[in-house]
Amino acid sequence: MYYKIFFILSLFILSNCTLDTTINNKINKTFYKEPFINKGFALIYNDDLFQNKIINKKLDNKSFILLQTNLIDGTTVKIKNLLNDKYTIAKVTVDSNYPSFNNSVITTRIADEIELDLDHPYIEITEIIDGSHFVAKKTQTFDEEKNVAAKAPIDDINISDLSNTDNDSTKIKKDKKINKSNFVYIIKIADFYFIDTAKTMIDRIKNESSVKNIKLKKMSDTKFRVYLGSFSDLKSLQIAFNDINVMNFENIEIIKND
C-alpha cells in the first residue's frame, strides 16, 4: 500500500518537474531571446535598382515590406526614422542581395509613412519577437495600414547618393536638406563585456584587414565598444564601412554620434 502511494507521488513530482521545465523553456524562448537591432542607412526601392542588378528582387512600392539579409522571410520588424522618431511595422521578404553599406531596402510606402528624409535615410530596424506585447498591440494597425497602402498610388523615389544608378527620371521633390554639421557617424563593430576581449578584436582586425584607425571606448564597467570614426561625410563613411565589411562581422551598425 505504502509502495503504491510512494509510486504515485513520485510520478506526480516528476510530471510537475517536466511541466515546469517545459514552461520555463517556453518562457525563456519567448521572453529572453535577444531581438535583432540595426541602425544604418536604408536604400529606398525603385525599379532602376532591380533593372541595373544592384538588388536582386523587385518590390511593390505600395507595400509594407523590406529586404534585410540578417532576418528570415516573414519576420515582423519595427522601422524607425531616427531623425524624427516616427515608425511603422513591416515584414521581411525572401532572401535578397543589395549593397552591403545599406542595412535594408525599403519601399517608398514605408519611407513616406515615417517621413524619411531622402537625403538622410537613417533608420533603426528592430525585430519583433512573436508573442510580444508590441506585436499584439500593433498587428491590427499593421493590417489596416496594408489595406490603405494597397489602394493608394505612389511614385518611385530615387536616391543617387546610396546607389550606382544615374537615372533621375523619377524623383520626389526633397523639401529637407542635410545640415552637414549634423552628419557625424561612427561605425560600431561590436560591444564586449571585457576590455581584454575588445583589445583582442582590435588586434585581429589590424592583422586581417587594411583597417588601422580602430578605436576603443569604455561605455560602462561591463561594456567596451570597438568602433571606427567619427565620419562627417557620406563618402568617407561608405569607404570605411566597405573596408571593415570584408571581415564579415554579423551585425555592423552605423550610429549617429550626437
Mean pLDDT, all residues of the chain: 77
Cα 41 to the center of its chain, rounded Å? 10
Closest CA to 162 of 52, 251, 256, 44: 44
What mean pLDDT comes out for the span 48-58?
93
pLDDT in the model for residue 179: 53
pLDDT score recorded for residue 187: 96
Distance CA 185, CA 234 (A): 9
Q: Report the percentage of the chain scoring pLDDT > 90.
A: 56
CA-derived radius of gyration, the chain: 23
Phi, psi of 235 (to 5 degrees): -65, -50
Tell me the mean pLDDT in the region 82-94: 94
- Determine the straight-line distance between the first and last CA of the chain, rounded to whole angstroms: 75
Grid coordinates of 84: 524624427
Nearest to 156 by CA among 47, 241, 252, 254: 47
CATH classification for the domain delimited by 180-256, as one of 3.30.70.1070, 3.40.1550.10, 3.40.449.10, 3.40.50.720: 3.30.70.1070
| Interatomic CA distance for residues 99 and 20, integer angstroms | 47
Lowest-confidence pick of 13-22, 43-52, 80-89:
13-22
CATH of the structural domain 37-162, one choice from 1.20.140.10, 1.10.10.60, 3.30.43.10, 2.40.40.10: 2.40.40.10
Distance CA 230, CA 82 (A): 18
CB 82 within 8 A of CB 122: yes
Q: What is the pLDDT of residues 176-233, one digit of tens each?
A: 444 555 789 999 999 999 999 999 999 999 998 888 889 999 999 999 999 998 999 9
Helix, strand or coil, per DSSP, at residue 231: strand
* Higher-pLDDT residue of 159, 3: 3
Q: Does 79 have pLDDT greater than 50?
A: yes
Whether the model pTM is above 0.75: no
Q: What band does 100 get if pLDDT is binned at 50, 70 and 90?
A: very high
- Could you tell me which of 96, 39, 100 has the C-alpha nearest to residue 69? 96
For the segment 148-169, the average pLDDT, to the nearest whole number, is 40
* For residues 87-109, average pLDDT: 93
Query: Higher model confidence: residue 55 or residue 153?
Result: 55
Asked if 6 and 13 count as a contact pair (C-beta separation under 8 A), the reply is no
What does each C-alpha distance from 206 to 16, 200, 203, 209, 237 come to in angstroms? Answer: 54, 10, 5, 6, 18
pLDDT confidence of residue 212? 81
d(CA 206, CA 247): 11
Determine how many CB atoms are found less than 10 A away from the CB of residue 198: 21
Integer Cα distance of 254 and 158 in angstroms? 22
Averaged over 1-29, what is the pLDDT? 43
Can you give the length of the chain in residues?
Answer: 258
**Which pLDDT score is estimated for 172?**
38
Q: What average pLDDT does range 135-149 have in this prediction?
A: 45
Q: How confident is the model at residue 27 (pLDDT cuts 50, 70, 90)?
A: very low
Q: Where are the domains of the chain?
A: 37-162, 180-256
